[in-house]
Amino acid sequence: MGKQARKKRQQDPIGRLRSDAERAARSYLSGLAINHRMTAPQFWAQLEQSLGKRFADDFEAAIERREQDESDAAVYDLMYRDVETVKRTAPILNPMAFDWLTHFAAAKVPEGDIVDLGSGAGLLTCFYAMRRPASQVVGIELNAAGVDRGRELAREMGLTNVAFEQGDLRDVDLGRRFDCAVSTLALTEVDFSRSTDQESFDFSTLARGRRRFESETSDLAGVASRHLTDEGAYLSFERLPRFDDFAGWVGAQQRHGLGIELGSAGRIVWQDPMVGRQSSQALVARPSARACALTQLEDWYLSEIPTEEFECEVRLNRSQEIAFHAGTHLEVSDQFGSGATRIYRLQDRSDEVIYLTTSRGFRQEIARVSASSGGLRDDFEAMIDNFTQDPEVTSSRPLEENDLLQDLDRT
């Protein structure tokens, strides 16, 4: 390194910290022979070469079945069969590993013991233990094979400061507190933006997904809070593509006494070899931090999400051919105080589009359905019924087209 480079590095402590963190993450993954920047063709070629064509075919079939029936069991049965398979399937199991480990290594979190909530096969957990040799690290994982692989990986790496326990994140209690809790992609993502050619699209599917998501966020936040010291920190990394989900996750943590530090929050962009570019919110919550207001969350979210991810909102603002069909205004009282949610049923040329609008005019698409599908009106009304039954909804009223136009004018 030349004099100018050294001087620049000394004058940029944040850049130096980031560079050191990247080096640590890259070194760790390289030491396990894990390529963290693979395309899908590269992944399948490497998998077939290292584990054989039969395994590669079985693994691909399991992934396809998962997409159809939303069950991960067959995928994890294959991935967790031994440590070598865990490493070779890591680009699928932990596609965000490099980016998240870099973030963790650079994060300002308390020194001390760490609990990893949903540790899987231990790839990330062992990095925490290696990075913090003076800390005791405990990984909690429901899958017994994942627990076994984590223990084997720790032995292979010569780590003596990490342990793995089998437990259900809905109610696990280790009977002790930690200085830091961590979770990565532990929540089941609710897909509210899919297209469908079904003859009839049932919004009750979304309602069930919403209830599951709300239950998971409450359980996970409760487990994190239960295992943290008063001065501890909870680092979470979740893919929450809708503001409503993001606010719900923050709200769940705040209900369990964990305040979000938006100054420490970040958006991490990473590459998944199967689906391409992804992004997730990395949050830091502490029992000692103050709760955030909804307006603060909205401002942060809008500042972090690039415009192209709101393409449907941009088109709305440009008044492209979108016709109003129905709408409902809901008055809501929750942990963020009193506010309003507006749900619109709109026609966008050939597609049916549903938008969710907060009180400040923040819009996001929550479902897009083929206009040729049957029963859309009844399904929309059923969805509204699901929303109005929520105890946080205090009143509701129908909306007219002028309400939508006024919302657009206020943006």
pLDDT on residue 182 = 97
Q: Quickly tell me which residue has 């584990």 as its tokens.
A: 51
Question: pLDDT digit string (tens) for 285-344?
Answer: 999 898 888 778 878 887 776 544 444 444 454 445 667 778 888 887 776 667 777 777
CATH topology assigned to domain 94-191+199-305: Rossmann fold (3.40.50)
Q: Measured between alpha carbons, how far is 309 from 315 in angstroms, rounded to an integer? A: 12
pLDDT on residue 198 = 39
State pTM to two decimals.
0.78
In this predicted structure, the answer to whether residue 264 has a pLDDT above a threshold of 60 is yes
The CA–CA distances, whole Å, from 152 to 28, 79, 158, 298 equal 16, 14, 10, 43
In this predicted structure, the answer to whether residue 355 has a pLDDT above a threshold of 70 is no
In the chain, what percentage of residues exceed pLDDT 90? 42
Q: Measured between alpha carbons, how far is 33 from 36 in angstroms, rounded to an integer? A: 9
Question: pLDDT digit string (tens) for 167-194?
Answer: 999 889 999 999 999 999 988 755 444 4
pLDDT band at 130 (very low <50, low <70, confident <90, very high): very high
pLDDT on residue 335 = 66
pLDDT on residue 240 = 82
Question: pLDDT digit string (tens) for 113-124?
Answer: 999 999 999 999
Question: pLDDT digit string (tens) for 17-59?
Answer: 788 999 999 999 999 999 888 889 999 999 999 999 999 999 9
- Beta-carbon contacts of 399 under 8 Å, excluding residues fewer than 6 positions away, are 326, 327, 328, 329, 342, 344
In this predicted structure, the answer to whether residue 376 has a pLDDT above a threshold of 70 is no
The DSSP symbol for 114 reads: E
In the chain, what percentage of residues exceed pLDDT 70? 74
